[in-house]
Structure 1
């Protein structure tokens, strides 16, 4: 019980729709709306489209359709949402949304034909070297996502699962790209399909958390649960309230 919050800071119960698992400024006096659903929605749609390509849905295997989404919605809009998270005092949300916004902008540039970063005649004369370089890029994002994942362990199940599936997505795609650079094409195909599957799950979990942050009694006939971990702030609060109700009964 030594770590139970007893200080004067206001806290928002861990909630995926707020994109913040820990300390947070009071929502009653802030002048900004909650920017998390916007960033989550931008991330979700762009990830959904890329994951559909990674899964070879309807025979589509070329990912360049992602470029406009990566630069505009998943990139610019999510980056703006991250900056607005900074304005409302949410360090986790600002770091995550801004970083993934930067990821999509970088990935959009990577796929832009005029830049020709990985194509024929580009800086990587050896295609295997280009694939290894891309694998380094994806490995770095796997490491970053793992750090973000560790910061969700005291939040909600739906919030944790978003980062867990995204982490596995980056891991599968990185390993698949390493396999491509080594010439193991069958293994590469399997790993990229797995990455597409985990990416699709991450996209729908991002939409789920976005809806949780948008929906309230003024605009929706129902609210969706986010399932607080029993060791989270809200989980402890629920246990205390349940115990008090039983004692009163």
Structure 2
């Protein structure tokens, strides 16, 4: 005997799927916020001194945080969410590359010597370009995520210019903007945690009229 799903049942299933997807995205947002705040703090010189200590911390966090983001991005892609999958995979590759570049274990930084800043600058330049292109795909999301991406773009641009033209203050500014980007991402993560938890508390994330 054929059974037909009532509209209420369909809406319930759709809500359950959306809740599940939101919960699965939370670890990716945590990894994003954590790694972004750390590399921002290193370039800003915030609480991490001397700089050699910051570089060592940056290498570890960027490498393993990038690996976590890359795997999280693959999971997003497997769940047929290519937009977020592409972003987290790309950010993961960028961070892994950054970690490998500055890690003393690999000896790349020692080999480059005085040219390390240039290499860091070009690495951040490629990420800045990608981030600028990706922002175009975020205009249909929500203001919180768009703010995260916009701040990340400005932070990457600051480090890019500071490294390539040897103006440390630009890298410092970029570092502080990265910290703010990570904090906004934490807000977005908190809103997801609260709305998918037992309390069902909704924090404002805003929205656009043409958002899906």
What TM-score, normalized by structure 2, do the two folds share? 0.83
Structure-2 residue corresponding to 1:135? 121
Post-superposition offset of 1:231: 3.4
Choose 1 or 2 for highest CA Rg: 1
Q: Tell me the distance in 2 between the aligned counterparts of 1:29 and 1:213.
A: 14
Choose which of 159, 162, 170 in structure 1 pairs with 2:148.
Answer: 162
Structure-1 residue corresponding to 2:38? 49
Q: CA RMSD in A?
A: 2.2
Q: Tell me the distance in 2 between the aligned counterparts of 1:47 and 1:218.
A: 26
Q: Deviations over 1:85-144 (max 9, x none)?
A: 01211010110011111112111111210212132xx1x36x2x4432322211100000
Q: Tell me the distance in 2 between the aligned counterparts of 1:217 and 1:169.
A: 31
Matched, 1:94 2:85: yes
Choose which of 59, 68, 71 in structure 2 pairs with 1:67.
Answer: 59
What TM-score, normalized by structure 1, do the two folds share? 0.71
Q: Where do 5+ consecutive residues of structure 2 fail to align?
A: 1-13
> 1:15-34 residue pairs with structure 2 within 5 A?
28=16, 33-34=21-22
Judging by fraction of residues, say which structure has more helix: 2
Which ranges of 4 or more aligned residues in structure 1 deviate by more than 6 Å?
A: none
- How many residue pairs get matched? 195
